[in-house]
Amino acid sequence: MTDWIAWTRCPTCGFSNKDVFQNPDDGPTFAVTPYVGCPKCAGSARYITFPAFEIQTFEVSSPGDAIYDAIDC
């Protein structure tokens, strides 16, 4: 099951809070706006909910094709 993250951040005072939920409906509900009242300064804080995911890295070997040209980074 995918976890969901609810993130609140206030640009005025710098308050930041992250909560993890099992379902997006388990998080706090607000009016249909991306802004909520900051619990620290009562300013306008940004609130978003998004699915959590794991970042996986893997090695990719270059193909044995003579035309293949690796890009140097």
| pLDDT one-digit tens code per residue, 28-67 | 555 556 678 888 998 889 888 888 777 677 676 666 655 6
Q: Is residue 31 part of a domain?
A: yes
> Taking the complete model, does pTM exceed 0.75, yes or no?
no
**Please, what's the largest Cα pairwise distance for the chain?**
63
In the chain, the number of structural domains is 1
Q: Is residue 28 part of a domain?
A: yes
Is residue 13 included in any domain, yes or no? yes
Task: Kindly state whether residue 67 falls inside one of the protein's structural domains.
Answer: no
Per-residue pLDDT, averaged over 9-38, amounts to 77
Write out the chain in H/E/C secondary structure.
Answer: CCCEEEEEECCCCCCEEEEEECCHHHCCCCCCCCEEECCCCCCEEEEEEEECCCCCCCCCCCCCCCCCCCCCC
* Confidence (pLDDT) at 12: 92
Residue range 13-26: mean pLDDT, rounded:
81
In this prediction, residue 10 has a pLDDT band, given cuts at 50, 70 and 90, of very high
